[in-house]
Amino acid sequence: MQIVPVVLKDINGSTKKMVHYNRHSRIRDMKNSDDYETMPDEQLMVLASRGEKNAFATIVRRHQQALVNFFRRMGVNNNEEDLVQDTFVKLFKFRERYKPSAKFRTFLYFVARRIYVDYVRRQNRERTGAKAFTNHLSVVATVSDASSDQKTRAVEALHTLSEEMRSVVVLNVYQGLRYHEIVEILEIPLGTVKTRMFHALRKLRKAMSHDVEKA
């Protein structure tokens, strides 16, 4: 649809700047990539599962940036882009499991979190062994005195949380997911989401106010 700013007269005769919509100049071609840009994710995913590559490509372009930051905030350094690619490839493999009635973003982050957990397990197997997995999920980082920059302190504080708490905070605060969506992604009860969020914010407040070391 052609959208052109024009100056028109209103019903009272005075001029004003309006928007002119040329509704009848539109070429309706469902294969046009411009059409995909305005489609909701749920519809794109259905099209992707029917073999529409461009629909899937639109999903990738739309969500890749958010996924990079999701992995970064979860504590991944330098491998974020690989994990983002893995997420989309897995999303494609899971396409038959996706039901259009479900929110797409919930499904996307369910897959993304699985990718993250697998990544952490791989990292720990490469380091020390199974025992280290639990430790790694708990350990995290230190908020150092030297990080006077508020933004850096916030990120470092985030990394002092256990993986369970960090997941809830990242999904809710950064990825904008609601509690009931987090319930589905993490497969935990709503009460647990509320409790983890509360305790996470308490710890984060302390971590950003003082030096904290957790092991």
Contacting residue, 69, 106, 142, 147, with another protein by CB under 8 A: 69
Taking CB under 8 A as the rule, does residue 35 contact another protein? yes
Among 44, 74, 112, 204, binds another protein (CB under 8 A): 204
Contact (Cβ atoms closer than 8 angstroms) between residue 42 and residue 100: yes
Give CA torsion, residues 78, 83, 84, 85, to 10 deg: 110
Q: Which of 106, 121, 201, 214 binds another protein (CB under 8 A)?
A: 201
Please list the alpha-helical segments (H only) found in the chain. Answer: 33-37, 41-49, 53-74, 80-93, 104-127, 130-138, 150-158, 163-169, 179-186, 190-209
Q: How far apart are CA 140 and CA 75, in angstroms?
A: 8
Binding site residues, another protein, CB under 8 A: 1, 3, 5, 8, 10-12, 16-21, 23, 26, 28, 35, 38, 40, 42, 49-53, 56-57, 60-61, 64-65, 68-69, 72-73, 80-81, 84-85, 88-89, 92, 95, 150-151, 153-155, 158, 169, 172-174, 178-179, 194-195, 197-198, 201-202, 204-205, 208
